[in-house]
Amino acid sequence: QVQLVESGGGLVQPGGSLRLSCAASGSFLGISVMRWYRQATGKQRELVATITSGLSTNYADSVKGRFTISRDNAKNTVYLQMNNLKPEDTAVYYCNADVKIAYDIELYWGQGTQVTVSS
């Protein structure tokens, strides 16, 4: 069984920073794409950032220049450095990953971590 576990959420003032982590564990052959999503109360879940195994990245327009996604392939961990946080960044942040298991690639989600930006 594969598990993704997020950490690093919390309460921060506007303009502050947080670093989220998402570590994959279990039995698998590798991980290709890893992503961060977020879901604010009453809104649809939205894709925030993506990183491939080759370290190519993409970002939602709303976070470009403020958020940075990175990964440590040796640790099967993806990070999201969030700077200059705004109240509208408040949401539950989820990671997901395309995990190679035998001959299949399966999508796994973490349980989410709350980020609250408020003064």
Return the pLDDT at 86: 98
Return the pLDDT at 1: 87
Return the pLDDT at 79: 98
Mean pLDDT by 10 residues, the chain (119 residues): 96 98 96 98 97 96 98 96 98 98 94 97
Closest CA to 72 of 93, 51, 86, 58: 51
Return the pLDDT at 102: 86
* Cβ pair 76, 23 in contact under 8 A: yes
- Sheet containing strand 3-7, strands side by side: 3-7, 18-25, 77-82, 67-72
> What's the CA angle centered on 45, arms 40 and 46, to 5 degrees?
100
